[in-house]
Each structure stands twice: as structure tokens, then as C-alpha cells.
Amino acid sequence: VARPRVLSGIQPTAGSFHLGNYLGALRQWVTLQDTHDAFYCVVDLHAITVEQDPKTLRQNTRVSAAQLLALGIDPDHATLFVQSHVPEHAQLSWVLQCLTGFGEAGRMTQFKDKSARQEAQVGVGLFTYPILQAADILLYQAHHVPVGEDQRQHLELTRDLAQRFNSRYGRTFRLPEAYIPKDTAKIYDLQDPTSKMSKSVPSGVVELLEDPKRAAKKIRSAVTDTGREITYDPAAKAGVSNLLVIYSALTGRTVDDLVAAYEGKGYGDLKKDLGEVFTEFVTPVQDRVRQYLADPAELDKVLARGAERARDVAGRTLARVYDRVGF
Ligand code: ADP
Ligand code: NA
């Protein structure tokens, strides 16, 4: 029996992924490659919806791919590729744009948030971004798409477009389902534990590629409350609870177990230990990233192989689409 297919992408924008990306998404990518026919994509086309520096983008794309490999994506198990290496993404996106209502695209709330935050001129690409995302998914006939809350609306658009195309031209696309993997954790900013850790608010972000000593220091200076007791209470003790969630996710120990183990100890102990836990986790990851980046030919080979496998599937979908629309 063929395994269900899953598609997921991540932007290369920041170079280093952060702990939220890992514990909320990438860790699940590694698990999903065992149960699914997984297609994982570094979405560099999406990265130019905001102004970018070409050299930085090229480097960040490689660093992103190296991190995915270092975190455990196995290119013999999953198809790992760079979006721009597969021209079918842009090609299908155009066809889907012509099927999308202007008002429909305008209702995407992420566009409103992102364009409001942007100082430079807002490009049309930022507006049509969710349609490119729909193309990313539909090209691969994915059964499942792991989505966080902020992406639900985009998946709905994807399904609407697939349905519209199918009813106008005949069944062409599989309707993808949202997939909420087990063990995803939402990670909060260390300096503002009520908002999610995000690359757009750099102060309380722990990056996977930063010096572990610096990361440990950030963890030691994480905002906590004025109490003393280590308990899990996200409403009253957002900071401490966030640290417990991270600790639990990185070690596999339950939060209850940690709370029991830290009875009678202080926040300082928890933070110091978590700094060590993070360092232990991230040191071999960083070593592997360095190895991948030190061998550009090998990384190129892995990505070329991924792109070839991706194009094999994407090309077949696009050929059918082109035929159906009359090209
Ligand atoms: P950012 O918020 O830093 O811009 P992205 O939006 O690029 O991160 O997210 C990439 C992936 O990481 C998505 O699947 C998203 O749901 C997940 N993710 C991002 N931040 C967090 C977080 N703080 N906690 C859990 N998951 C997160
Ligand atoms: Na985001």
C-alpha cells in the first residue's frame, strides 16, 4: 500500500531556523518521513515577496537545506528540494491565479498583517502568495499538509481552488487535508512569553545556529514571573511554562515529571539546566550543518536529486493541467 503523501515547505528567509520552527514543525517533518511519502521544500520563491539580497538568499537557502538534513531529514527517505529548482510551482501558480477571485485573495488575513508591517512598497507577490502556496501543495497531489493555526485559511483556499479547477475541467487535483501532527509544541518568545517565538521579533528567539553559549545566556535571562515555584500554568506563569514545554520537548520527559523533579528548586536552576539541554541537543546539529556546508558539491547533489524526483511528480500534474486548460 502506498503511503499517503505529505507536502510541507519552509522559508529560507532568516538563515537559521529557531526553536519554534523546530519544535512546532521541523521535528514533525522528521517523524512524518517514516509514515508518509514526504516532499519537503525550501520555499525560496516565497522569500522574494519581501525585499531580499540575492547573495543572502542564495546562502540562506543552502543553510536551510543543510539544517533540514542535519535535523534528520533523510534524502533517501524524503524528497528534499528547493522550490525554484522546480519551475512547475510558478507555472501552476499562474493558472491558479486566473481562477482566484480578487476579493477572495483579499480576504487572506496574513496579507493584511504582513503588508501592514512592511515599510517598503508592498508587491503583488505578497498578495498572491497564498496562491503560490496552493500550487506548492496541489502539484504533488498531497493527501496531508501539516498546518499551524495561521495557515488554516490558506489551506482552505487551496481546497477551494482545487475544487473549482476539478469542477470546471474535470478531476485533476486531490483535495488535501490539514494534518495536525502529534507532539507539536507552540513556543513563545523568551522575552515576551505571551507572543509566539518568531523571527520577526528577534529579542527572545533562540536560533539553532547561534553560539550555544549565547543561547544558554538568553535562556538564563528569559522573562519569568516574581514567584518562586516551578509549576505549569500558562495563564499565570507563561514564562516558566514555556521553559517547561521546551525542556519537555527536547528531552522527552513529561512536564509533570519535570515539575516533580524541580520541586523545591528555583527558576535559576531550571534555566541553567535547560541551557545545558539545549546545548546538548544543538551541538551535534551544528556540527552536521557545518559538514554539509563544507561540501557544497555533495549538498548540490542531494538537492539536484530531490528536484529531479519532485519534477517527476510536479511535471505530470502540470502536463495534465496544461492540457485541460487548452495549452
Ligand atoms: P516565523 O513565525 O518565525 O516567521 P514561520 O512563519 O516561517 O516562522 O514558520 C515556519 C514553521 O514554523 C511553521 O510551520 C510555523 O507554524 C512554525 N512555527 C513558527 N514559529 C513557531 C512557534 N513559535 N512555535 C511553534 N511553531 C512555530
Ligand atoms: Na510567521
| ipTM of the complex, rounded to two decimals | 0.94
- The set of cell numbers assigned to 55 is 547573495
Mean pLDDT of 34-51: 95
- Is residue 326 annotated as involved in ligand binding? no
Q: What is the pLDDT of residue 239?
A: 97
pLDDT at residue 276 greater than cutoff 90:
yes
Q: Identify which of 252, 222, 253 has the alpha carbon closest to the alpha carbon of residue 238.
A: 222
pLDDT at residue 118 greater than cutoff 80:
no
- Rounded to whole angstroms, what are the CA distances from 70 to 105, 116, 161, 285? 36, 35, 35, 5
| Burial of residue 228 (number of CB atoms within 10 Å: 0-12, 13-18, 19+) | exposed
- Rounded to whole angstroms, what are the CA distances from 231 to 39, 271, 282? 39, 14, 26
Q: Is 50 helix (H, G, I), strand (E, B) or coil?
A: coil
Beta strands 5-10 and 37-42 are parallel
- Is residue 242 annotated as involved in ligand binding? no
Q: How far is the CA of 223 from the centre of ligand 2 (A)?
A: 22
- 6 in Cβ contact with 143 (< 8 Å): yes
Catalytic residues: 114, 196, 199
**Furthest C-alpha separation in the chain:** 72
- Residues touching ligand 1 (Cβ under 6 Å) are 10-11, 20-21, 24-25, 148, 186-187, 196-200
- Residue 300: partners with Cβ closer than 8 Å, 6 or more residues away: none
- Is residue 306 annotated as involved in ligand binding? no
The residue whose CA has the least distance to atom 22 of ligand 1 is: 20
Interval 228-243: pLDDT, tens: 999 999 999 999 999 9
> Where is 191: in which H helix or E strand?
none
Q: How far is the CA of 198 from the centre of ligand 2 (A)?
A: 7
Interval 194-240: pLDDT, tens: 999 998 877 899 999 999 999 999 999 999 999 999 999 999 999 99
pLDDT at residue 152 greater than cutoff 90:
no
Q: What is the pLDDT of residue 121?
A: 79
Phi, psi torsion values for 12, nearest 5 degrees: -90, 10
Rounded CA gap, 160 and 313, in Å? 22
Beta strands 177-179 and 144-146 are parallel
Mean pLDDT of 271-282: 98
Tell how far CA 275 is from the center of its chain.
Answer: 24
The residue whose CA has the least distance to atom 10 of ligand 1 is: 21
Q: How far is the CA of 320 from the centre of ligand 2 (A)?
A: 33
Q: How far is the CA of 170 from the centre of ligand 1 (A)?
A: 36
pLDDT at residue 286 greater than cutoff 90:
yes
Among 21, 113, 187, 205, residue to substitute to test ligand 1 (most atoms within 8 Å of Cβ): 21
Rounded CA gap, 101 and 104, in Å? 5
The residue whose CA has the least distance to atom 9 of ligand 1 is: 21
Question: Given the CA of residue 17, which atom of ligand 1 is nearest to it?
Answer: 3
Q: Identify which of 82, 73, 70, 74 has the alpha carbon closest to the alpha carbon of residue 289.
A: 70
Mean pLDDT of 277-281: 98
